[in-house]
Structure 1
Amino acid sequence: MRFNFCTFNYTAYGKLINQCIRKNKQFILCQTTRIFYIQVDDSLEYGINNLSTFYLVIGMEWSRSREREKMRKQREKVDTKKEKHYKLQKDEIFNQRYLFVQAISDGTFGRVVRVFDGGENDFKAIKIIKSVKRHIQSAKIEYGILRTIHQQNQYHPGNEKIVRAYEAFSHKDNYCIVFEDLGLSLYDFMRGKYFGGFELKAVQQILFDCLQGLDFMHASGYTHTDLKPENILLIDKQQKGKKENHYHVKIIDLGGAVFQTECHSQLINTRQYRAPEVILKNNWTNLSDMWCMGCIAVELFTGQQLFRPKGNDFFHLAMIEKHCGPIPIEMIQQCRNEAREYFNEYQLNDSFLKWPDDSIMVQELSLMKVFRAFIPQNQYELINLIENLIVIEPLKRLTPKQALEHDFFKLKFN
């Protein structure tokens, strides 16, 4: 929940209650260690001038919050013990139909295996989810979204750029989703090339497929929220038997996708691909996906991630400014209090950002080259496309439909 209103202080029993914020019947007490959300009914709001009563309510909520935090940590310990991958058996059969062939990959959610579908006489992939509540919930959301969007607008070309899910079932207490069988992720493919980039024709084809898929998702009302090379899979050329399919791709992992009318969580995107409005904890839209696409475009051509912030938002913002210019004052004014500590009240060299004073960070920033230095200047169309995707102000970024009309996709290759 966002609070954009004035703050004021209360004193009770000689103690200062800092930043007591009021919105309608909602009060927040911001302290150095935690934030408390206190629902105040009509009678308590009416008697709010009775500071001792207000402070008593805060104390009660503090006690409850500590108890809830303790219980949450206990649940996490239990979940961690359960977070084990499903143990596969040789020639194991799933749902009386799918014969286990080989393991493909393991992730935090569970593992993916290749199976032979005896019903349709072809190969499929099954995602076997760990027996952990949050992973199961995410998987069910993903399956529901995939089944829904593929039934919508079936003639949209982007419909074929999103992975297909065929069915879901339980197997020995593990939730399973059956997907079409695809090839390597872009990340694994680049890793196999020692993180060398793709040729320009391949970059064009991959980006075009991704943008078609995003245009379809956004038209269906969804934001992916976690676009990255790991979540874009190549179509296996050997399986399909067509050489030109080698660089066609599909978008996967819609477990974190958010519908436009749903409540938007503050934190989305894998850090290296996180949009500036998300870092600043401002409102975000499906245009955050387009920032991710700009980062991915650079990585596809160069083989290297555009941003490596090392878990530090301050450093990340400084890197963004070096590539994209100063963060606009309008975005700074909208950001939450905890993010405002990164900014000065006055401009220095056209920027409000307090640049890191850590010597290592300063050295890295001074040596860091902007992305244009890694792309030949004669690749003007690619540079211009990227410049219009990694724009700090979200509303100035290209939409998927606009990006598909960019001159970069009109280039012809032999």
Structure 2
Amino acid sequence: MEWSRSREREKIKNQREKEETKKEKHYKLQKDEIFNQRYLFVQAISDGTFGRVVRVFDGGENDFKAIKIIKSVKRHIQSAKIEYGILRTIHQQNEYHPGNQKIVRAYEAFSHKDNYCIVFEDLGLSLYDFMRGKYFGGFELKAVQEILYDCLQGLDFMHASGYTHTDLKPENILLIDKQQKGKKEGHYHVKIIDLGGAVFQTECHSQLINTRQYRAPEVILRNKWTNLSDMWCMGCIAVELFTGQQLFKPKGNDFYHLAMIEKHCGPIPIEMIQQCRNEAREYFNEYQLNDSFLKWPDDQFMVQELNLMKVFKALIPQNQQELLNLIENLIVIEPLKRLTPKQALEHEFFKLTFN
């Protein structure tokens, strides 16, 4: 019963969010449109919840840039202004840190016909779009190593600057190469984008962060979270880069998500259960059953899927122990037991040489 009620609440909430998003309109682009008396519209790149991204030619510097055109919706504009402020601030801090170059650069912001716009450096495809173009096949090990290293450098820089990204996923990691081949001079290099949800360590932390498939267990439980929630995301991304498939597909339900996490990582510790908010406590029994307090879903289809689900340790070949060990130290239920970005950068996986 708990499973059914929880699923119904999630369904209603998701439907409301979809209906609200449909009412919000994207900016209508005009052929040869000029932005801020400088940027000539070249082509549309992508559309998102916040608005749309276009490629433009910068007549002032004689090169290409990307402009994010935000929908005329208050919450999206506020988020965009926060993102621009963070990017302008963070790049002025510790400019010699190697991770400084792994975060996308924003050059200016302005209003265009009632739409807030941010000008970014022009980058390539997102990891998600690149994998989609490969029919969601995984990357070769050398590419996995290079991409993860760049991401961890960027995260180390962000965390050292006091920020948690809060929404790491393949859609928010862009390849530097713009030729859509992924490689640049024989290597895969990336930058982290979309800092609109980034939170400074002394700011008020909202309960819910992360895109669902990459959401850390402490966030699902509505416990206090830190920048180590980003490292759970990195573990999920590492598996996805290697296999081409998302590790968690929780079907919009926290209850099922927690069951998947326990299947991969073992029982959720009692200390974390005791700290969780009231709405999450309904997922747990007052007593242990097979070492777990979790009330497993009573939906037979979901139970069957859980039984058939392969754990991540079975997805990584036995001859790739260094990669598996890295992932095992990122996808850890207890946040304080996860590697920090700095610790992860020192892992043996990044000392391997691939042909």
Q: Which residue of 2 aligns with 1:176?
A: 117
2:104/2:193 contact within 8 Å kept: yes
Output the CA distance in 2 between the equivalents of 1:62 and 1:183.
Answer: 41
Output the CA distance in 2 between the equivalents of 1:69 and 1:358.
Answer: 15
Higher relative contact order (CA 8 A, sep 6+): 2
1:234/1:246 contact within 8 Å kept: no
What SS does the aligned partner of 1:151 have? coil
Root-mean-square deviation (Å):
4.9
1:235/1:246 contact within 8 Å kept: no
Output the CA distance in 2 between the equivalents of 1:242 and 1:356.
Answer: 43
Q: 1:356: how far off?
A: 0.9
1:272/1:305 contact within 8 Å kept: yes
Write the deviation string for residues 151-184 of structure 1: whole angstroms up to 9, x where unpaired. 0000000000000000000011110000000000
Q: 1:413: how far off?
A: 1.1
Output the CA distance in 1 between the equivalents of 2:203 and 2:165.
Answer: 13
Alignment partner of 2:69 out of 117, 121, 128 = 128
In structure 2, do the counterparts of structure 1 residues 281 and 241 end up closer, same or farther at CA, with 3 Å as the change threshold?
Answer: closer
What SS does the aligned partner of 2:286 have? strand
In structure 2, do the counterparts of structure 1 residues 186 and 72 end up closer, same or farther at CA, with 3 Å as the change threshold?
Answer: closer
TM-score, length of structure 1 as denominator length = 0.80
What SS does the aligned partner of 2:120 have? strand
In structure 2, do the counterparts of structure 1 residues 79 and 397 end up closer, same or farther at CA, with 3 Å as the change threshold?
Answer: closer
What SS does the aligned partner of 1:238 have? coil
What SS does the aligned partner of 2:186 have? helix
In structure 2, do the counterparts of structure 1 residues 239 and 383 end up closer, same or farther at CA, with 3 Å as the change threshold?
Answer: closer
In structure 2, do the counterparts of structure 1 residues 77 and 229 end up closer, same or farther at CA, with 3 Å as the change threshold?
Answer: closer
In structure 2, do the counterparts of structure 1 residues 74 and 322 end up closer, same or farther at CA, with 3 Å as the change threshold?
Answer: closer
Which runs of 5 or more residues in structure 1 are unaligned?
A: 1-59
Q: 1:323: how far off?
A: 0.4
In structure 2, do the counterparts of structure 1 residues 181 and 124 end up closer, same or farther at CA, with 3 Å as the change threshold?
Answer: same
What SS does the aligned partner of 2:179 have? helix
Alignment partner of 2:82 out of 112, 126, 141 = 141
Q: 1:395: how far off?
A: 0.3
Write the deviation string for residues 113-133 of structure 1: whole angstroms up to 9, x where unpaired. 000001111000000001111
Q: Which residue of 2 aligns with 1:155?
A: 96
1:290/1:398 contact within 8 Å kept: yes
Q: Which residue of 1 aligns with 2:12?
A: 71
2:106/2:121 contact within 8 Å kept: yes
Query: Percent of pairs identical after alignment?
Result: 94
What SS does the aligned partner of 1:209 have? helix
1:185/1:232 contact within 8 Å kept: yes
Write the deviation string for residues 287-336 of structure 1: whole angstroms up to 9, x where unpaired. 00000000000000000000000011111001000101110010001011
Write the deviation string for residues 246-299 of structure 1: whole angstroms up to 9, x where unpaired. 510000000000000000000000000000000000000000000000000000
2:125/2:178 contact within 8 Å kept: no
What SS does the aligned partner of 1:263 have? coil
Q: 1:242: how far off?
A: 7.7
Write the deviation string for residues 181-235 of structure 1: whole angstroms up to 9, x where unpaired. 0000000000000000000000000000000000000000000000000000001
Output the CA distance in 2 between the equivalents of 1:74 and 1:321.
Answer: 28
2:54/2:67 contact within 8 Å kept: yes
Q: 1:244: how far off?
A: 3.0
Q: 1:345: how far off?
A: 1.3
In structure 2, do the counterparts of structure 1 residues 189 and 261 end up closer, same or farther at CA, with 3 Å as the change threshold?
Answer: same
1:266/1:281 contact within 8 Å kept: yes
Output the CA distance in 2 between the equivalents of 1:189 and 1:313.
Answer: 29
1:159/1:216 contact within 8 Å kept: yes
In structure 2, do the counterparts of structure 1 residues 194 and 79 end up closer, same or farther at CA, with 3 Å as the change threshold?
Answer: closer
In structure 2, do the counterparts of structure 1 residues 354 and 104 end up closer, same or farther at CA, with 3 Å as the change threshold?
Answer: same
Q: 1:348: how far off?
A: 1.3
What SS does the aligned partner of 2:142 have? helix
Alignment partner of 1:306 out of 238, 247, 252 = 247
TM-score, length of structure 2 as denominator length = 0.93
2:183/2:189 contact within 8 Å kept: no
Q: 1:80: how far off?
A: 6.0
In structure 2, do the counterparts of structure 1 residues 245 and 83 end up closer, same or farther at CA, with 3 Å as the change threshold?
Answer: farther
Q: Which has the higher mean CA deviation after the structures are superposed, 355-364 or 149-158?
A: 355-364
Q: 1:102: how far off?
A: 0.4
Q: 1:75: how far off?
A: 13
What SS does the aligned partner of 1:239 have? coil
Q: 1:79: how far off?
A: 7.4
Which protein shows a greater Rg? 1
In structure 2, do the counterparts of structure 1 residues 75 and 194 end up closer, same or farther at CA, with 3 Å as the change threshold?
Answer: closer
Q: 1:238: how far off?
A: 3.9
Q: Which residue of 2 aligns with 1:32?
A: none
What SS does the aligned partner of 1:168 have? strand
In structure 2, do the counterparts of structure 1 residues 70 and 169 end up closer, same or farther at CA, with 3 Å as the change threshold?
Answer: farther
